[in-house]
Amino acid sequence: MTDISELETRITTALERISSGLAALSNQPGSSDEDIAQLKALLEEERTANSQLSERVKALQQNRADEVDKLQGELGRLTAQLETDEVVLSKMRQVNADLRANNDALRKAIADGGVTAELVNDAIAAELEGLRVAQSADRAELDAVLGELGQLINDNSSGAQTHSSTGREGADA
C-alpha cells in the first residue's frame, strides 16, 4: 500500500513540474502553440492517470477495510465457539473423572462384597451426567458445523449478489 502512495506522490510531483514547465514555456517568446498544446494534452493525460490511480487506491483501501471487518467478525465468532468448546470439554473431563472414581469405588465394593444401593445410584448418576455432557458436546459440535455452513451460505449469497450486479460473468471492471 505504501508503494502505491509513493507512486501517487511521485506522479503528483511530476505533474507539478510539467505544469511549471508549461508555464515557463508559454512565457518564452519563440515557443510554438503546437508544442504548448501537445504538452497540455500530455499533462491532462497524466492528470487523468493520476486520478485513476487515486481511485484505485481508494477502492483497494475500501476492499482492505471490508476484508478486515469480515475477518474480525469471523475471529469473534470462532473465539466464541472455542470458548464454548472449552467449557464443554472441561465438563466432560470432570464428569469422566467422577465416573472413573465411582467405578473404582464400585469395583472395590464388589471385590469386598459390600455393594450398596448408594454406590449403584452414584454410578448411575455419574453415567447419566456423562451422557448429558456428551450430548452437550455433540450439540456444541453441531452448532460449530451449522455456524460454518451458515458462513458458507452467506459467502455464496454475497458472491451471487455481486455476480448478478455485474451483469456478466468474467467481465473486467
- Average pLDDT, 10 consecutive residues per value, the chain (173 residues): 77 84 67 77 88 91 92 88 87 86 84 81 84 86 86 80 56 42
Main-chain dihedrals φ then ψ at residue 160, nearest 5 degrees: -70, -40
Q: Look at the block and give the residue holding cell 469422566.
A: 96
Residue 171 has a pLDDT of 44
109 burial level (CB within 10 Å; 0-12, 13-18, 19+): middle
Rounded to whole angstroms, what are the CA distances from 105 to 93, 95, 99, 114, 126? 18, 15, 10, 11, 12
The DSSP call for residue 29 is T
Angstrom distance (rounded) from CA 173 to CA 163: 12
User: How far apart (Å, rounded) are the C-alpha atoms in residues 25 and 30?
Assistant: 9
Would you state the pLDDT for residue 170? 46
For position 169, what pLDDT does the model report? 47
Distances (CA, A) of 115 to 95, 124, 129, 130: 22, 14, 21, 22
- Looking at residue 64, its pLDDT comes to 93
What local confidence, expressed as pLDDT, does residue 150 receive? Answer: 85
Cell of 27: 512565457
At 148, which amino acid appears?
E
Is there a contact between 12 and 50 (Cβ–Cβ < 8 Å)? yes
What is residue 33's three-state secondary structure? helix
Query: Could you tell me if 132 and 98 are in contact, meaning their C-beta atoms sit under 8 angstroms apart?
Result: no
